[in-house]
């Protein structure tokens, strides 16, 4: 296990979410994947970690500064088959999956599929988080209050994620590289890709205690709400945002709610991980 001091920067590369070591093959045959793998412990995302942060303890906040992200050479997006809980409703059924294979150019900042369609890259790590405070093995799919599979596309280079620490040492892990994703991740996959290099700085904060993840991205605050339904996730995101507005702007609860109805945007983070996500966004220039 890697051990770091608060304020240290870690650098690593990642596999794609399917443990692949090569792009999907054009003929649809099975591609090579990382081996060996434990069929139980390695059934989820391939993650880098856990990283023990010396001195970390519950009730503190882990500050994750996303310094830089560089994608690998390929990516893929899946529709149909196993990939989305909405398959029947969206008219794609449970048949064979459609796979978009992407060629990624990190220097040009573009992704191009085999039909020549091109999109701009906006890379981020889908999984950033810590495990619950117990000895059990936990699935990597659902996000939790301590982070994990948040799949928030706003967590690009330059963003900072704040996570409540659930256990001594933090035991932080990261992975699930995405080249680009739309809010919602409606097919259950983004541009899934390996990362050639990712750099994260891990620090500890004693001045604030959080119930769920909060982030700074661009010129905005983000409050990430999680729930079994979009209603629950949205209410949780607003609750955290109101507490943030009270603390940062010195507002009373009712004033914060009234202003939030005017200047805070609710966006769907993802709807495909069992526990769904909504993030509330407050831009710095929204209140003058």
pTM, whole model, 2 decimals? 0.94
> Would you call 189 helix, strand, or coil by DSSP?
coil
Peptide bond between residue 16 and the one before it cis (omega within 30 degrees of 0)? no
Query: CA triplet 163, 155, 103: central angle to 5 degrees?
Result: 140
- Mean pLDDT computed over 80-90: 70
Secondary structure, 3-state, 179-232:
CCCCCECCCCCCCECCEEEEEEEEEEECCCCCCCCEEEECCEEEEEEEECCHHH
User: pLDDT class for 83, splitting at 50, 70, 90?
Assistant: low
Two tokens at 131? 């495990």
Residue 79 has pLDDT above 90, yes or no: no
Residues linked to residue 118 through DSSP beta bridges, in sequence order: 112
Rounded to whole angstroms, how far apart are CA atoms 153 and 177? 11
SS3 107: coil
Of 96 and 271, more confident:
271
Token pair for residue 124? 């981020």
In the prediction, which pLDDT does 273 show? 93
Give the other-Cβ count within 10 Å of 26's Cβ. Answer: 9
Strand partners, 223: 214, 280
d(CA 259, CA 253): 10
Identify the pLDDT of residue 137: 84
For the chain, which domains are there? 2-22+32-205 (2.60.120.580), 219-283 (3.10.28.20)
CA 158 to centroid of chain Cα atoms: 14
Residue 30 pLDDT: 86
Instruction: Answer yes or no: are the C-beta atoms of 195 and 71 closer than 8 Å.
Output: yes
CA distance 182 to 61: 28
**Mean pLDDT taken over the chain:** 94
Query: Is the pLDDT score of 194 beyond 70?
Result: yes
Residue range 95-136, pLDDT digits in tens: 677 889 999 999 999 999 999 999 999 999 999 999 998 878
Owner of token pair 């150019």: 105
- Backbone φ and ψ for 261, nearest 5 degrees, come out as -65, -20
Strand order in the sheet with 8-14: 8-14, 195-205, 61-71, 160-164, 214-217, 220-227, 276-283, 265-270
Give the pLDDT mean for 79-85: 69
What is the Cα–Cα distance from 131 to 147, expressed in whole angstroms? 8
Rounded-to-integer distance, Cα 108 and Cα 118, Å: 11
Give the per-residue pLDDT at 26.
Answer: 80
Q: What whole-number percentage of the chain has pLDDT above 70?
A: 97
Q: Where are the beta strands (DSSP E) in 130-194?
A: 147-149, 160-164, 172-178
Q: Quick one: tokens of 236?
A: 């949780």
Task: Name the phi and psi angles at 120, rounded to 5.
Answer: -80, 140
């Amino acid at each position: 296990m890697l051990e770091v001091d608060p304020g240290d920067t870690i650098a690593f590369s990642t596999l794609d979410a399917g443990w692949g070591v090569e792009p999907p093959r054009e003929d649809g045959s099975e591609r090579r994947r990382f081996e060996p793998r434990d069929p139980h412990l390695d059934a989820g995302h391939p993650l880098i970690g856990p990283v023990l942060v010396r001195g970390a303890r519950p009730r503190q906040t882990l500050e994750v500064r996303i310094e830089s992200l560089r994608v690998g050479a390929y990516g893929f997006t899946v529709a149909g088959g196993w990939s989305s809980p909405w398959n029947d409703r969206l008219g794609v059924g449970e048949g064979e999956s459609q796979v978009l294979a992407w060629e990624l150019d990190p220097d040009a900042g573009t992704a191009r599929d085999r039909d020549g369609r091109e999109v701009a890259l906006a890379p981020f790590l889908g999984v950033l988080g810590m495990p619950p405070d117990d000895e059990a093995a936990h699935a990597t799919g659902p996000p939790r209050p301590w982070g994990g599979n948040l799949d928030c596309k706003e967590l690009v280079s330059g963003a900072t994620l704040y996570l409540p620490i659930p256990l001594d040492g933090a035991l932080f892990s990261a992975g699930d590289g995405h080249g680009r994703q739309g809010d919602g991740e409606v097919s259950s996959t983004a541009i899934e890709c390996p990362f050639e290099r990712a750099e994260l700085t891990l620090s500890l904060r004693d001045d604030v205690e959080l119930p769920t993840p909060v982030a700074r991205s661009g010129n905005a605050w983000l409050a990430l709400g999680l729930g079994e339904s979009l209603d629950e996730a949205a209410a949780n995101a607003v609750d955290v945002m109101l507490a943030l507005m009270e603390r940062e702007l010195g507002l009373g609860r009712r004033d914060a709610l009234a202003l939030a109805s005017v200047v805070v945007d609710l966006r769907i983070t993802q709807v495909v991980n069992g526990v769904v996500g909504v993030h509330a966004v407050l831009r710095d220039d929204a209140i003058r």
